[in-house]
Amino acid sequence: MNYITPDNLKDALNFLACHGEDTEIVAGGTDVMIDLRAGKLEQKKNLLDIRNLAELKGIDFKDEKLFIGAGVTLTEINRSDTIKKYAPALVKCSTTFAGRQIRNRATIGGNVAHSSPCGDTIPPLVIHEAVALIANKTGEKLIPVEAIASGPYQSSLSKDSIIVKFILKPCRANFTDFQKIGRRKELAVSRMSMAIMADKDEQGRISFIRVSLGACTPIPQRMDEVEQFLMGKIPTQDLIWDAGKILAEKMAGVTGRRASSVYKEPAVQGLFMRILYPVVL
């Protein structure tokens, strides 16, 4: 294997244009190392280290949009006042993402590109209707984050491209949260994760809601049915419980009923209830 460390995005994209199929991109490297060890990269000829690409760094807010470079680490997200202000659920997710040592290396772009069903950054990005700016040698395009994973560990991105940055709609709701269920508090692979953003009008009716589920479906996704069910209604305990039931059914519809459903369906409902309880009147 070759190990290549280009100095800028242009050089990296030129390299990928010729060798994309044989190349594995290394951002933090925390997932690539695991795949390498598991023998999944035997067909690859090159490792392309993108750490020097200045285009992938930085966090910025302008023109009512939040920009997060794909090369930003989870630790940088955790410490960013800008992200805390405009996408607090993403900061919350960064506090429980893997362990400290991994957060110091792992990048948000790597987490999304790896397309793990339990990629913790994806549900918080999805509630912000985040789009990714994708570049290849011939140009740039915008793809919704939700459309990047085409299946578990399968990315729809072409092999000649790199995620440059994410563009998020800033949080305009009074309530937002991310929670996950894992086997322990730290270093836990999510069994289930959920990001929610919600707001109420003057009459106490839900006027805005975004719900995204991760880890318990093959790809993290927005849950439109649940959002539609709740819109315009006054959030009572019973209503949230019923919405959680719809969410559980939707999950079962996506994954099919499995041995784990006996646990997962009530757990999804319970997690939904736990997150949204603060908005109950």
Partner 1 sequence: MEDKTVCIEFTINREKKALQIPSRMSALTVIRDILGLTGTKEGCGVGECGACTIEVDGQAINSCLMFGAQLDGCNVLTVEGLEKEGQLHRIQKAFLDNHAVQCGFCTPGILMSTHALFEENANPDDEEITKAIAGNICRCTGYQQIFASIKDACSTKTGNG
Which run of H or E residues covers position 198?
A: strand 192-200
Min dist CB 184 to partner 1, Å, is: 9
Residue type, 71: G
Whether 123 contacts 212, CB under 8 Å: yes
Min dist CB 19 to partner 1, Å, is: 14
The residue among 4 and 239 lying less far from partner 1, judged by its C-beta, is 4
The residue among 42 and 238 lying less far from partner 1, judged by its C-beta, is 42
Whether 3 contacts 47, CB under 8 Å: yes
The residue among 102 and 167 lying less far from partner 1, judged by its C-beta, is 102
Q: Name beta bridge partners: 136.
A: 139
* Binding site residues, partner 1, CB under 8 A: 1-3, 5, 26, 29-30, 32-34, 36-37, 42, 45, 47, 49, 51, 75, 98-102, 104-105, 185-187
Min dist CB 20 to partner 1, Å, is: 18
Whether 211 contacts 173, CB under 8 Å: no
The residue among 113 and 279 lying less far from partner 1, judged by its C-beta, is 113
Q: Is 252 helix (H, G, I), strand (E, B) or coil?
A: helix
The residue among 32 and 251 lying less far from partner 1, judged by its C-beta, is 32
Min dist CB 95 to partner 1, Å, is: 8
Min dist CB 271 to partner 1, Å, is: 21
Spell out the residues 6+ positions from residue 79 whose beta carbon is closer than 8 angstroms to its own.
none
Spell out the residues 6+ positions from residue 280 whose beta carbon is closer than 8 angstroms to its own.
235, 236, 237, 240
